[in-house]
Amino acid sequence: MSYKVKLNIFEGPLDLLLFLIKRDKIDIYDIPISNITKQYLEYLELMKLLDLEIAGEFLVMAATLMHIKSKMLLPQEENEEEEQEEEDPREELVRRLLEYKKFKDAAERLQGMREEQKDVFLRRGTGAKGKVVAEDGTEYFEASLFDLITAFRKVLKEVPKETFHKVIRNEFTVSDKIHDIYHLLAKKPRIYFSSLFGDARNKDEVITIFLAILELMKMREVIVAQKEFFGEIEVIRNPELVRSSS
């Protein structure tokens, strides 16, 4: 595919690791490095499939995880004193994750305080701490890029494998799919992410629809959100734009 998306909402490798740790309820002090490395590399492959621009730091982290994994696979020293002195290969990674999480949490608290001071009444749109208030007053949590890729991964797995090998003329573009999503949101202010792929005929069409959603997010025309963390994703017409046009 020749369509490349540059996103301002793109998180970094530490965000991806924290996402995986939180989703799978992993003890950050005892990370199963083999499993985390496998999942991390799977997400990178999905990003490449989508032709997303992957920053070099993602590849550096992949190399770091592979290095830690290889060190942990090495046979343990028989000498007990040497074992006690040997540092856990994951220690530096855990330190970086905890430090990053601390600053990220602090930034979210400051953003929440800023929103509270700016508006006495909760406005429609993106509220404090990543909350979204829909037109009807329903509160959501804004989904991350990794939430979206997780949902996309599930949709991609449900595409019948035989369609991957069929020669189907692609009569659609990202612009076409953006128009289709606009049309759907004109009828309904929010729709389930998974429902957008119901009529997709092959893998290329699934990818094109996903890229259209990313482009709409980049333009702030839509917000993707969940009623609970790691819940089902909904694509919502940006309430701020609706309000400004009314």
pLDDT higher for 111 or 212?
A: 212
Q: Write down the pTM of the prediction.
A: 0.73
pLDDT band (50, 70, 90) for residue 122? very low
Beta strand 233-237 pairing with 190-192: antiparallel
Residues 122 and 79: their CA atoms lie apart, in Å, by 62
Predicted local distance difference test score (pLDDT) of residue 158 = 82
Predicted local distance difference test score (pLDDT) of residue 198 = 87
Tell me, rounded to whole angstroms, the distance of Cα 93 from its chain centroid: 21
Annotate the chain with three-state secondary structure.
CCCCECCCCCCCHHHHHHHHHHHCCCCCCCCCHHHHHHHHHHHHHHHHHCCECCCHHHHHHHHHHHHHHHHHHCCCCCCHHHHHHCCCCCHHHHHHHHHHHHHHHHHHHHHHHHHHHHCCCCCCEECHHHEEECCCCCEEEECCHHHHHHHHHHHHHHCCHHHHCCCCCCCCCHHHHHHHHHHHHHHCCEEEHHHHHCCCCCHHHHHHHHHHHHHHHHCCCEEEEECCCCCCEEEEECHHHHHHHC
Answer whether 219's CB lies under 8 Å from 9's CB. Answer: no
pLDDT in tens, 59-99: 999 999 999 999 988 776 555 555 555 688 999 999 999 99
> Is 221 a residue whose pLDDT tops 70?
yes
**CATH topology for 124-246?**
Arc Repressor Mutant, subunit A (1.10.10)
Predicted local distance difference test score (pLDDT) of residue 243 = 53
pLDDT in tens, 1-36: 445 555 545 578 999 999 999 999 999 999 999 999
Predicted local distance difference test score (pLDDT) of residue 228 = 86
> Is 231 a residue whose pLDDT tops 80?
yes
- CATH code 1.10.10.580 region(s) in the chain: 124-246
Span of 23-32, 71-80, 137-146, 190-199 with lowest mean pLDDT: 71-80
Q: What is the mean pLDDT of residues 220-241?
A: 86
Percent of the chain residues past pLDDT 70, beyond the cut = 74
> Is 128 a residue whose pLDDT tops 50?
no
Percent of the chain residues past pLDDT 90, beyond the cut = 38
> Is 223 a residue whose pLDDT tops 50?
yes
Residues 127 and 133: their CA atoms lie apart, in Å, by 7
Average pLDDT over the chain reads 80
pLDDT higher for 177 or 242?
A: 177
Measuring CA to CA, how many Å separate 212 from each of 29, 58, 102? 38, 24, 34
pLDDT band (50, 70, 90) for residue 140? confident
Answer whether 59's CB lies under 8 Å from 53's CB. Answer: no
Torsion over CA of 140, 242, 121 and 132, rounded to 10 degrees?
10
